[in-house]
Chains A and B, each alone.
Chain A
Amino acid sequence: MHGLFRWSSKWWPGVIPLVVFWAIAAWTTTPPLESELAARSAAALKDSLLDKTRITVAGRDVTFAADAFSEDGRRGAVASVAAVPGVRLVNDETQLVPEAKPFVWSAERDVVRVTLGGSAPLPATKGRLLEAARATLGGVEVVDQMNLSRGAPPRFDNAALLMLDQIWKLKDGKITISDAKVSLAGMARELGGREAIAAALKNLPEGFSVAANEIKAPPYIFQAYKDPVAVTLTLTGYVPDNNVHAALVAAAGRKFFNEKVADNIKASLGAPSGFANAVVPALGALSRLSTGTLVVSDREVKLSGDAFYDAAAAQIRAGLKDFPQGWQFKADISVKPASAPVDGTVCQQLFSDLLAKGKIRFESGRATIDPDSAGLLDRLIETALRCPSANIEIAGHTDADGEDGFNQALSEKRAQAVTDFLVKAGLPAERFTAMGYGSTQPVASNDTDEGKAQNRRIDFVVR
């Protein structure tokens, strides 16, 4: 032992090359050591949930800066860096992601792009939302302005994904989730879009509620155009469903006895309430015009065109019976120029032509004129106006069903009802004689339903 002390006093010359070695070792090993420690630290953080991770190594000391999403996650990340072999010290510059209060996320759509803004709770959520937006909105630019924040309500991801599913149904607008309240504003891209979004909002995750849904729908439009040249009635636009579709086409067939009905209607959700109740009488008013257009836009009904005579124009302008509440009717009606006068024979021919195409209908067993016959009556009145000197017999006929006395009385009452209608339209009462013939003058066999229908009729006979 004593020798060791003695020898050690002569060990010092070796320190000189040792210092040289040390200097070279320090010079050459520092950068590779630092980069290896940085790589190992990054690998240790692979499973940690962090944002803006920055690792810088000086010697064996790691300066570690990151935004963590929870205090536990932050501590765990620091500990896992500290546990990396070779790391001497960890300079902890980590912090928690700021908490957003209220936690607001939004998706805004305009013509060319969708902007996702506000806060997202985790990088994974942010990525998933962007991916979902790109998938549902194929082709539309998706702009990411989302920040990461803490404080998202539970099940935020599901709610946000559901809202992203709705954003493509909008032409423009904004969907906002503020804490657990959802607000929507904007214009639906298609008819029915508003209803589809309202239905989807029922699937919001538990705890979420709708604060405001101000999605507007594009106007719900239905149009009918009566073309006297092509003798067609063209129906376009939307109806709520196939039942209403069938009902409207059937009503058009009854009211437009002469015209062919061209049906270009599509069914769509989003009709204002009372749609059918408003459109059927409006079609009745259109049937009284010589040429005209009916435009139904949301709850506004616009009718324009030419009536056959002054009184008809006045009646149409006065509005529609049985029009549903909350609907507006606007009529822009002029009167068709009077046709050239003709003599009685021609008048008779015109009456016969009209009555061959359509028949004046009544309520079953009664003398009340069916409103569906208004168009035909207007044409008959117009014809009667063309031969002012002719006296006309309005002849009522019935089929052979029922008692003769009842039929006789019914035919008389029906003829009288038609005469009253003509007089109300402004024709002089003395030109018309109402006659009832019961079932005495059949034009077809009373054995078939078809024949009976032909026998139930009103004839106009020029005397």
Chain B
Amino acid sequence: MAYLVIFHWGWLLASLLLGLAMGWIAVVHRAQAVSKVTSRWLGVLAAALVAAALARVIPGRPGYWLDLGLIMFALYLAGCAVGSWLRDWVVSRHAPAA
């Protein structure tokens, strides 16, 4: 895993930044939200993919692509969380002033 991070740091950084941006936007975005049921299913799907990656059941290149995708997605999520939290912090600091 450490090797993958070193080898793909550029792509991972890009995912993180994308996540940050998306998180930043999401706080004030008016897009349609994913329903609870759908997000639960998506969570199950993500867990299944992580389980498949950890169990190394997918061989060869697809296995590698899965690992890569999951790491990128994890960093994206982390970026989103940090971004949203930051935006929320900025918005709530300005709100009392306003």
Interface on A for B, CB 8 Å cutoff?
Answer: 3-4, 6-15, 17-18, 21-22, 25-26, 29-30, 33, 36, 58-61, 85-86, 88-89
Interface on B for A, CB 8 Å cutoff?
Answer: 2-4, 7-8, 11, 14-15, 18-19, 21-23, 26-27, 29, 31, 33-35, 39, 56, 59-65, 67-69, 72-73, 76-77, 80-81, 84-85, 88
A88 and B22 in contact (CB under 8 A), knowing A14-B76, A29-B8, A61-B60? no
11 A/B residue pairs, CB under 8 Å, sorted by A: A4-B84, A11-B22, A11-B26, A14-B19, A15-B73, A17-B18, A18-B72, A21-B72, A26-B65, A29-B7, A61-B60
B60 touches A18 (CB 8 A): no
For B69, give the chain A residue with the smallest CB separation: A22
A21 and B14 in contact (CB under 8 A), knowing A14-B22, A29-B8, A88-B67? yes
* A15, A17, A18, A60 pick with most chain B CB within 10 angstroms: A18
A30 and B11 in contact (CB under 8 A), knowing A7-B27, A13-B31, A85-B3? no
A14 touches B18 (CB 8 A): yes
Find B61's partner among A9, A10, A30 (CB 8 Å cutoff): A30
B59 touches A60 (CB 8 A): no
Interface of B is mostly: helix
A58 touches B18 (CB 8 A): no
A12 touches B88 (CB 8 A): no
Q: Which residues of A contact B84 (CB under 8 A)?
A: 3-4, 7-8, 11
Task: Give A88 to B73 CA distance when docked, in angstroms.
Answer: 20
B69 touches A59 (CB 8 A): no
Task: Give A4 to B67 CA distance when docked, in angstroms.
Answer: 26
Find A10's partner among B3, B8, B33, B63 (CB 8 Å cutoff): B33
Q: Which residues of A contact B35 (CB under 8 A)?
A: 9
Find B60's partner among A21, A29, A59, A85 (CB 8 Å cutoff): A59
Task: Give A158 to B4 CA distance when docked, in angstroms.
Answer: 49
B59 touches A9 (CB 8 A): no
Q: Which residues of B contact A25 (CB under 8 A)?
A: 8, 11, 68, 72
CB distance from B25 to the nearest CB of A (A): 8
Task: Give A205 to B60 CA distance when docked, in angstroms.
Answer: 51
Q: Which residues of A contact B88 (CB under 8 A)?
A: 3, 7
CB distance from B80 to the nearest CB of A (A): 5
* B59, B60, B67, B81 pick with most chain A CB within 10 angstroms: B60
Find B15's partner among A3, A13, A18, A36 (CB 8 Å cutoff): A18
Find A88's partner among B27, B63, B85 (CB 8 Å cutoff): B63
For A6, give the chain B residue with the smallest CB separation: B33
Task: Give A58 to B63 CA distance when docked, in angstroms.
Answer: 9
CB distance from A407 to the nearest CB of B (A): 117
B64 touches A88 (CB 8 A): yes
Q: Which residues of A contact B56 (CB under 8 A)?
A: 88-89
Q: Which residues of A contact B64 (CB under 8 A)?
A: 26, 30, 33, 59-61, 88
B2 touches A85 (CB 8 A): yes
Q: Which 3 A-B pairs have the closest CB atoms?
A: A59-B64, A14-B22, A58-B60
Task: Give A61 to B66 CA distance when docked, in angstroms.
Answer: 13
Q: Which residues of B contact A21 (CB under 8 A)?
A: 11, 14-15, 18, 72
Find B23's partner among A7, A9, A18, A30 (CB 8 Å cutoff): A7
For B53, give the chain A residue with the smallest CB separation: A88
Q: Which residues of A contact B21 (CB under 8 A)?
A: 14
Task: Give A7 to B39 CA distance when docked, in angstroms.
Answer: 12
Q: Apart from A25-B68, A58-B61, list 8 A-B contacts with CB within 8 A.
A: A3-B84, A10-B34, A13-B31, A21-B14, A25-B72, A26-B69, A61-B60, A89-B56
A18 and B65 in contact (CB under 8 A), knowing A4-B81, A9-B39? no
B73 touches A60 (CB 8 A): no
B59 touches A89 (CB 8 A): yes
Q: Which residues of B contact A3 (CB under 8 A)?
A: 84, 88
Task: Give A327 to B28 CA distance when docked, in angstroms.
Answer: 121
CB distance from A65 to the nearest CB of B (A): 16
B67 touches A60 (CB 8 A): yes
B15 touches A61 (CB 8 A): no
